A and B are shown apart, each in its own frame.
Chain A
Amino acid sequence: MTDILQLLIYGLVLGSVLTMGAIGVSMIFGILRFAHFAHGDFMTLGAYLGLSFISAFGLSSWWALPAAMVGMGVIAVFIDQVLYRRIRRTQPVILLIASFGMALILRSLVQLIWGSDNQTYASGIQFPWQLDWLGGMRLKPDHLWIMLISLALVAGVHLFLTRTRLGKAMRAMSDNMDLALVSGIPAERVIMVTWVIGGALAAAAGVFLGIDTRLHPVMGWTTLLPVFAAAILGGIGRPYGAIAGGMIIGVSMEMSTLLIPAAYKPAVAFAIMVGMLILRPQGIFKGTV
């Protein structure tokens, strides 16, 4: 029983990371209609930006988060303006392949600047709390923070989407692009905000991964598959679905280690994604494909 609870915690931590990535993937798909393959490398770059920030100012690990989020929000808009915006009117597959190219560029850039060795935000081990009232289950403070901050960010995204004019416009554009245009909703402005949020959340995912384990140049790329699986499971183009999808994929991946070797964790995400595409391609919540 303690094992299962312990794995549930790990699953929720992983789920938090995936959710942060999947919300962005889902939003970008909803507005721009393409699968953003550079999203994993947005996570990586964000994590490294955070690393540079805290080492430059000698700050503790968690300071990496705000720095990475701000930095990636700006960089995401920049990349959109320089690359994606120019090919916005072409077919989605061209955008998809361009984003694949961008993924390779970002990964190489990270290797060039920070090297290909593993790095960490803080050295040493963090001692977990032993929760005797939960059968001696262990909980690391960092894990608790990852879950709480994710919850806060998800709540923030929810408030943005339901309470602000721009957030509602984002949902409107995702619902019906043509009608949004004839209503006078300024598409480019909404797209820009989508990138800010998508980039910032990807950076959060990267920092969470870096705090949980370590930083390396393919950390985001290898996380992209479960992120896509989460977005598809939740119904692509539906940010709320992405939250459910992220948590389900995260928990399933960790729980699977009870039955099969841990090396197969990504395969579990892949299996869920393929199964979902066959059985219910629109996702748990009806998506936009």
Chain B
Amino acid sequence: MSSLLEAKGLYGGYGGADILQGTHLRVESDEIVVIVGPNGAGKSTAMKAVFGLLRIREGEVRYRGEAITNAKPEQMVRHGIAYVPQEKNVFPSLTVRENLEMGAYLMKGDLSQRLDKVYTLFPKLAERRRQQAGLMSGGERQMVAMGRALMIDPQLLMLDEPTAGLSPLLIDETFERIKEINAQGIGVLMVEQNAKQALAIASRGYVLATGSNRHEDTGPNLLADPEVAEMFLGG
């Protein structure tokens, strides 16, 4: 049985020198996998590379055993992989509902079931469905962004710093939602700055530094590791 997602020996970057230096990642369907590490470690770059947003020069990405290295984002979506960028992750002039519809652009048939599913997870979005996304608060926009990604009924959800810029209360709330999403059988791969909280809900974590893997362990073990704690978690 092959992994949901497996990336091996990734080298690549934005055209200049390689930022990724042999990064590897693995996600199973029942896992929440967190990538932590210092600024500039290549965490977001690794996510983008996996999703086909920048060119992988060397290495391989497999999804359920099938090679998807450097596939286009459109094909990723068709495979059932959804990606939420860190910033600018909503369509500001579109309403909440239109944002969600755009998430399911490639999906055929009636959207109402998909919409209901997202509205059940984020009841606030149902209330605000006619509001322009650009006029919402940061926390609400993050819900719209995640909701948009969930519209394809993904197998794998990739989140780039889903709690960036949110208040502590909203951070807790966001992690709760992520756990609920994962409980539905959706594998989650996320990059997080709030490393402690993220590792606390993580099945496994990767510590990335200068584009390569430094540590890999279960969430609790990484949290308990004094070296990791000193390096990345602020003691």
Point out residues on A near B: beta carbons under 8 Å. 165, 168-169, 171-172, 174-176, 178-186
Contacts and interface: CB of A to CB of B under 8 A. Distances in A.
B204 interface: no
Contacts of B93: 171, 174-175
A183 B88 CA distance: 13
What 6 pairs across the A-B complex have the smallest Cβ distances? A184-B77, A175-B91, A184-B106, A172-B91, A184-B74, A172-B102
Tell me what chain B mostly uses at the interface: helix, strand, loop, or mixed.
loop
Nearest to B92: A175
Given A172-B91, A179-B90, A184-B73, 7 more contacts: A172-B102, A175-B92, A176-B91, A182-B51, A184-B105, A184-B106, A184-B152
Given A172-B102, A178-B85, A186 B91 contact: no
**A contact face: mostly helix, strand, loop, or mixed:** helix
B142 to A, nearest CB: 13
Interface string B98-135: 10011101100000000000000000000000000000
User: Most B CB atoms within 10 A — which of A168, A180, A181?
Assistant: A168
A176 B103 CA distance: 13
A181 B92 CA distance: 15
B98 A168 contact: yes
Nearest to B148: A183
Given A175-B92, A176-B92, A182 B105 contact: no
A185 B53 contact: no
Contact of B94 (A168, A181, A182, A184): A168
A174 B85 CA distance: 17
B214 interface: no
Contacts of B206: none
Given A183-B77, A184-B78, A168 B101 contact: yes
A168 B94 CA distance: 8
B63 interface: no
Contacts of A171: 91, 93-94, 98
B98 A182 contact: no
B196 to A, nearest CB: 28
A155 to B, nearest CB: 19
